[in-house]
Homo-oligomer: A and B are copies of this chain.
Amino acid sequence: MKHQDLIFSNDVASQLDVLVEKYKPSKVFVLVDANTEKMVLPQLVTQSSVIANATVITIEAGDTNKNINSLMHIWSSLVEGGATRKSLLVNLGGGVVTDIGGFAGATFKRGIRFVNIPTTLLSAVDAAVGGKTGINFNGYKNEIGAFCEAEAVIISTRYFSTLSSEELLSGYAEMLKHGLISNADTYNRLLANDVVNIEAEQMLQLLQESVMVKKRVVEEDPTEKGIRRALNLGHTAGHAFESLALQRNKPIPHGYAVAWGLVMELVLSHMRLQFPSDELARLATYIYDNYGAFNITCDDYATLIEFMRHDKKNDSASEINFTMLKQVGDIHIDCIASEEDIKTALDIYRDFMHI
């Protein structure tokens, strides 16, 4: 796996200048969405001559635009802007921008350098590190993509002040997940926080700790043949909740889906691996208090199971595969659950969520 520069700093402009000095790109392109074009780019243009002189490529905001049309727009803009193999693409935005920009960078002329500057907590903690790039396709999330790490990621908390509490909570769910798969200390520190009112410096430190959990796992298993599946904790159920919400035309934030998915999958972990019931109850209470509940009835079970079955993490279409925990930090990957188990776990999830 190639070396990736992982930079924790609130002086984004200077760090970017250093990187450009190092890479000496033939040309610089910066990818933004309609939000970061308005909220982040103008400030950065005044601070960084690299960004001031870059060719700007803009896509529509939102996960529904992480699609083949936006991707083709980026490719065309690179062609028309005279990009060569030595050009640099800077992805400035949330997970949609870093995912699709990463995939564009991975595939333009069979691969050019790209740098990610995540602007949301969720993309800082999750999407911008680990090399998963891609787009949604035919109604499935991240169906098309590549494993390709950014040359560098500049992680800061400076853009978080404009985030809503919903966006902060969404990112925090991934940090909780990293806590659950690392150790009780880290996990307990996370549960002790009031996410929405946390101080910027304290957040940068928690963020750094959290990103390093992910980085260690990814380095051990870049293409997700084994232990990287630890990072899927909460995601098999979470993606299913997310897909169901989309089907209802009431999309939910990814991190919220993961938060509820964590509860559901720790229920399964309790059923199958005796994950401690008091820990399970503590997490469920924290999630319910901060995230509320995702509303399902038993009429949704069949649909949810169908979504889980289609998950990329399943080796065959007939099995449903989960990452489970025996304790905080004690990870068991490739745990198969039966439909009956899943239905029971959904029942218990609903109890915890008071629905």
Complex contact A315–B84 (CB within 8 A): yes
Residues 184-233 (chain A) with a chain B CB within 8 angstroms: 223
A171: Cβ under 8 A from any B Cβ:
no
A110: Cβ under 8 A from any B Cβ:
yes
User: Chain B residues with Cβ under 8 A from A27's Cβ?
Assistant: 317
- CB-nearest residue of chain B relative to A2? B223
Complex contact B146–A76 (CB within 8 A): no
User: Chain B residues with Cβ under 8 A from A147's Cβ?
Assistant: 110-111
Tell me, in angstroms, the Cα distance from A312 to B106 when the chains sit together: 14
Copies in the complex: 2
Complex contact A26–B84 (CB within 8 A): no
- CB-nearest residue of chain B relative to A311? B84
Complex contact A316–B26 (CB within 8 A): yes
Complex contact B108–A143 (CB within 8 A): yes
A138: Cβ under 8 A from any B Cβ:
yes
- Shortest beta-carbon distance from A77 to chain B in Å: 10
User: Chain B residues with Cβ under 8 A from A109's Cβ?
Assistant: 143-145, 312
- CB-nearest residue of chain B relative to A72? B68
Tell me, in angstroms, the Cα distance from A27 to B318 when the chains sit together: 12
- Find A110's partner among B82, B85, B108, B132 (CB 8 Å cutoff): B132
- Find A79's partner among B85, B138, B314 (CB 8 Å cutoff): B138
Residues of A within 8 A of B (CB): 26-27, 68, 72, 75-76, 79, 82, 84-86, 106-111, 132-134, 137-138, 140, 142-147, 223, 312-317
Q: A75-B138, A108-B143 are in contact. List 8 more A-B contacts (CB 8 A).
A: A76-B138, A84-B312, A85-B312, A85-B315, A107-B107, A107-B146, A109-B144, A110-B142
